[in-house]
């Protein structure tokens, strides 16, 4: 469950961001900026993350606050799932990342699969749309929707890149160490279930 201090900080940040966007009075703008600065101090106090990083992740947007979108491809060949080894932590995840504003969900995952795993894929259906903070720890200071897309592997050869070091297909019983901030074991199991069950219904919360 999300701690109260984080929930309060997120609500204050949302109020401050909307206020900075829509207020015209210079004194109101100043007050909303003070509220936003206070949320940064709260997060720094409880997490130890630097002010600069918090501002970059949490306080760098304008307009009405909305969740970020992370798209992951569940790419299968026979009974194995494609995973990539993340350069940032040396652990493994389904190919994917932040959605690009000018691409559809399908276009995003095709792009990510090619860039991160050297794979050409055919997206087939949405497995799940999940609120990240309800399923993965540590909880982030900003909202994230995670979209899992079932994909068919066509072909491809891995090429090392700035984001990933290698790729491979893995059975559910033989998974490597997962990059848990990107995908949990339960989410990988969910994707295997979606692949094997023709009657699987999209999960959302």
pTM for the full predicted model:
0.76
15 shares its domain with 100:
no
Residue 186 half-sphere exposure, CB side, CA atoms within 13 Å? 9
Question: Nearest CA to 126 among 155, 106, 107, 112?
Answer: 106
Please tell me whether residues 72 and 159 are part of one structural domain. yes
CB 130 within 8 A of CB 183: no
Same domain, 158 and 179: yes
Residues 23 and 106 occupy one common structural domain: no
Model confidence pLDDT, tens digit, residues 23-80:
889 889 899 989 988 888 888 888 777 777 776 666 666 666 778 899 999 999 999 9
- Name residues whose C-beta falls within 8 Å of residue 1's C-beta, 6 or more positions apart in sequence: none
List of long-range contacts for 124-127, beta carbons under 8 Å, 24+ apart: 124/149, 124/150, 124/151, 124/152, 125/149, 125/150, 125/194, 125/202, 126/150, 126/202, 127/74, 127/190, 127/191, 127/194, 127/200, 127/202, 127/203
Alpha-carbon gap, residue 205 to 203, rounded angstroms: 7
- What per-residue confidence (pLDDT) applies to 173? 97
DSSP 170: E
pLDDT of residue 145: 93
Task: Give me the number of domains the chain comprises.
Answer: 2
In a domain, 63, yes or no: no
Domain encompassing residue 152:
68-204
Say if residue 131 is in the same domain as residue 177. Answer: yes
């Amino acid at each position: 469950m999300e701690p109260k201090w984080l929930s309060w900080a997120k609500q204050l940040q949302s109020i401050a961001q909307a206020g900075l966007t829509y207020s015209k009075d210079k004194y109101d703008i100043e007050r909303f900026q003070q509220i936003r600065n206070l949320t940064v101090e709260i997060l720094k106090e409880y997490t130890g993350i630097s002010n600069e990083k918090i501002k970059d992740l949490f306080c760098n947007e304008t307009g009405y606050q909305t969740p970020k979108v992370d798209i992951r491809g569940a790419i299968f060949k026979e009974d194995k799932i494609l995973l990539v080894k993340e350069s940032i932590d040396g652990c493994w995840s389904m190919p994917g990342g932040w959605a690009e504003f000018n691409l559809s969900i399908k276009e995003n995952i095709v792009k990510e699969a090619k860039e991160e795993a050297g794979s050409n894929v055919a997206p087939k259906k949405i497995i799940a749309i999940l609120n990240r903070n309800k399923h993965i720890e540590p909880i982030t200071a900003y909202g994230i929707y995670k979209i899992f897309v079932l994909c068919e592997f066509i072909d491809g050869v891995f090429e090392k890149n700035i984001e990933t070091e290698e790729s491979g297909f893995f059975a559910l019983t033989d998974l490597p160490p997962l990059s848990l901030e990107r995908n949990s074991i339960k989410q990988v199991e969910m994707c295997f279930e979606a692949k094997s069950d023709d009657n699987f219904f999209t999960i959302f919360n």
